[in-house]
Amino acid sequence: MVILVALVVSLSFHEFGHAFVALRFGDDTARRAGRLTINPLAHIDPMGLLMVVFIGFGYAKPVPTDPRRFTSRYADLLVAAAGPAMNLLLAIISINAYLILLDWGWVDLSSPGPRLFFIYLAQINLLLMMFNLLPVGALDGHYILPYLLPRALSQAYRYYNGRYGNWALLALILLAFMGVPIFSTISGFSAALLPFIAWV
């Protein structure tokens, strides 16, 4: 239950990040759709949530945007990066808030409830950040990678990801269920990042 609550909170902030930055760059599509909020009811997809409960993998409703309204040529990059950035920010706040409360004696070290919630919240957000940065399918990383490539490679990547990216993402998921340690590797990297954001 603690993990489910932490995941719902994390997904809600992730999608809010996309909506917030899109509005800053002139696109109010998400705001008009009621997505400029951290209310989970606006972001959680029922089927995606059921998938989380039963198979450990799911999704939230994607934030709608209209690139024609953007006021910067880099807006799609920044809007895409806003979701993972929000997850990183929430992870930093979570782990350091827990350490502050622990230092002040406001939480009991022997009490598993607060410790589990804050640490799970930090770890889940780091995991969401890294997963969404994968440059396949419709994940946020596919908006970001083209800006890091030479123009010819960028165009080729956009073409092939547009045609085959979702199949590649599905293949990764299927391989993970077949025992290939794809998501466990991502999770391991995420856990390794935790000490680097614990600054208190």
Half-sphere exposure of 45 (CA within 13 A, CB side): 12
66's tokens: 């209209």
Could you give the CA distance from residue 196 to residue 198 in angstroms, rounded to a whole number? Answer: 6
Catalytic residue numbers read 15
Tokens representing 146 are 């083209």
Distance (Å, whole) CA 118 – CA 126 = 12
121 close to 12: Cβ distance less than 8 angstroms: no
